[in-house]
Amino acid sequence: MGIWAWIQPVDRIWKVISDQEKGTLQVYDEKSELVMESKGLSKEEISFIETNFLQIVAINISGNKEDIPIVSDVVRLIEHNYMYA
C-alpha cells in the first residue's frame, strides 16, 4: 500500500492511497473526504500510475507505516510553498 501527499496549486494537500493487492486507488481532499475511488485495477495499472504520475506530482509518505495518516498530519510534513500563497 502506498500513501501519497498530492500538493494542489492552491495550498491544499490531497491524500492518495494506492493498494496493488486490492487493486484500488483512493483520493481524499484536505477535509479527508473521498473525492475519487477506482476499484478493480490490476497491479500493473497501479504500478503505472505510481511510477508515471504520483512520483512526479506527489510525495510518498507511506514508508513502512501500518496506519494511514489523516490529511492534517500530512500538512505538517510538507513545507509551505510561497509561490502559491
The one-character DSSP state at 37 is E
pLDDT tens column, 18-77: 999 999 999 999 889 999 999 999 999 999 999 999 988 888 887 644 444 555 555 555
Q: Are 13 and 82 in contact (CB under 8 A)?
A: no
Nearest to 29 by CA among 21, 17, 41, 39: 17
Give the start-to-end residue ranges of the domains of the chain: 2-84
What count of Cα atoms within 13 Å lies in the side-chain half-sphere of residue 6?
Answer: 20
Sheet containing strand 2-8, strands side by side: 34-38, 24-28, 12-19, 2-8, 58-60
pTM, rounded to two decimals: 0.70
